């Protein structure tokens, strides 16, 4: 934390010092930043020093890199847990203001430890990267994709009701089930369990409650056989066949 605090102190004192010294400090400190808790470090340098930053291309590049370090997952290129927390809270506020539904899906890779134990962690990394690519292909640009844990992912889908969210996640689940990941002459495959919840505009649910609902649905998917989509609040909706979805929509 001292390295990061010194970076900001240097910048507010002397831009020239920052340009000369910041690069070396970043190289020294980057390896530790992934484990830092930035919760108490809410310094909006870009707003506070907008004129100076606009005149400093080097600083602009550094801030872009710092933003990626803080908010992106380096392995998959998806957003990380910190971004997820911010994005979900922001979408909840917009949900209240615009009176639109908000869907949240939590995905977990089935038996991921077995992949790591059998083929090694490099193989597990390749599977996670392949999953991220498939997720990108199955959601809208307006949806937010995050890796929020080791083998756990989240999708925030603004203005999406449960029937659409279920269909999208079922398609994603199917694509992942049929995915083949080449690795050192082997072909790796996996599946995911998915929990979904929807915040309707006429129902008050907090950020924590919404996440807990999706997590509970994910747990149900795991407990009832894995490789399925479960919608929160529908105890018999394991797998969600077409007839079951039609029943929910009626």
Q: Are residues 203 and 99 in the same domain?
A: yes
Instruction: Output the pLDDT for position 145.
Output: 97
Based on the fold, state whether residues 62 and 106 are members of the same structural domain. no
Residue 20 in domain: yes
Final residue in a domain of this structure, among 12, 41, 71: 71
Among residues 71, 96, 127, the one where a domain terminates is: 71
Residues 100 and 176 in one domain: yes
Token representation of residue 212: 């807990």
* Residues 67 and 85 occupy one common structural domain: no
Domain-located, residue 92: yes
Instruction: Please pick, among 46, 151, 177, 244, the residue that the annotation labels catalytic.
Output: 151
In a domain, 246, yes or no: no
What CATH number has the domain bearing residue 173?
A: 3.30.70.270
Would you give per-residue pLDDT tens digits along the chain (250 residues)? 444 444 444 444 444 444 444 444 444 444 334 334 444 444 444 454 555 555 566 666 666 666 667 789 999 999 999 999 999 999 998 988 888 999 999 999 999 999 999 999 999 999 999 999 999 999 999 999 999 999 999 999 999 999 999 999 999 999 999 999 999 999 999 999 999 999 988 788 899 999 999 999 999 999 999 999 999 987 644 444 434 444 433 3
Domain shared by 150 and 220, yes or no: yes
The dihedral region occupied by 195, where left means phi > 0, alpha psi between -120 and 50, and beta the remainder, is beta
pLDDT at residue 204 in the model: 83
Number of domains forming the structure of the chain: 2
* 46 in a structural domain: yes
User: Which one of 20, 47, 71 terminates a domain?
Assistant: 71
Question: Does 237 map to a domain?
Answer: no
> Do 38 and 116 reside in the same domain of the chain?
no
The answer to the question of residue 17 being in a domain is yes
d(CA 215, CA 208): 10
pLDDT at 201: 81
105 and 169: one domain? yes
Residues 44 and 104 in one domain: no
DSSP string, 123-171: HHHHHHHHHHHHHHHHS-TTSEEEE-SSSEEEEEEET--HHHHHHHHHH
Of 122, 125, 155, give the one whose Cα is nearest residue 138: 155
151 among known catalytic residues: yes
150 within domain boundaries: yes
User: Are residues 86 and 161 both part of a single domain?
Assistant: yes
**Segments forming the whole domain that contains residue 21:** 1-71
At 233 the pLDDT is: 86
Same domain, 95 and 202: yes
Bridge-based pairing of strands 229-231 and 144-147 is unpaired
Please check whether residue 38 lies inside any domain of the structure: yes
Same domain (yes/no): 120, 148: yes
pTM for the model stands at 0.72
pLDDT at 240: 46
Could you tell me if 137 and 202 lie in one domain? yes
């Amino acid at each position: 934390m001292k390295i990061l605090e010194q970076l900001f102190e240097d910048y507010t004192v002397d831009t020239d010092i920052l340009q000369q010294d910041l690069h070396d400090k970043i190289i020294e400190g980057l390896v530790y930043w992934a484990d830092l808790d930035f919760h108490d470090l809410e310094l909006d340098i870009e707003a506070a020093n907008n004129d100076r930053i606009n005149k400093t291309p080097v600083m602009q590049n550094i801030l872009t890199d710092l933003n990626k370090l803080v908010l992106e997952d380096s392995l998959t290129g998806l957003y990380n847990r910190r971004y997820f927390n911010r994005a979900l809270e922001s979408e909840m506020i917009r949900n209240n203001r615009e009176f639109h539904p908000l869907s949240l899906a939590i995905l977990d890779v089935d038996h991921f430890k077995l992949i790591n134990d059998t083929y090694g962690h490099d193989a597990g990394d390749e599977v996670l990267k392949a999953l991220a690519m498939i997720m990108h292909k199955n959601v809208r640009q307006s949806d937010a994709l995050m890796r929020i844990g080791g083998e756990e992912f989240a999708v925030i889908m603004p203005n999406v009701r449960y029937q659409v969210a279920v269909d999208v996640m079922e398609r994603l689940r199917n694509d992942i089930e049929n995915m083949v990941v080449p690795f050192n002459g082997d072909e790796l495959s996996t599946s995911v369990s998915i929990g979904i919840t929807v915040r309707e505009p006429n129902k008050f649910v907090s950020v924590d409650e919404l996440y807990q609902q999706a997590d509970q649905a994910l747990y149900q998917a795991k407990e009832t056989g894995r490789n399925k989509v479960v919608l929160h609040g529908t105890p018999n909706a394991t797998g969600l066949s077409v007839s079951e979805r039609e029943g929910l929509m009626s």
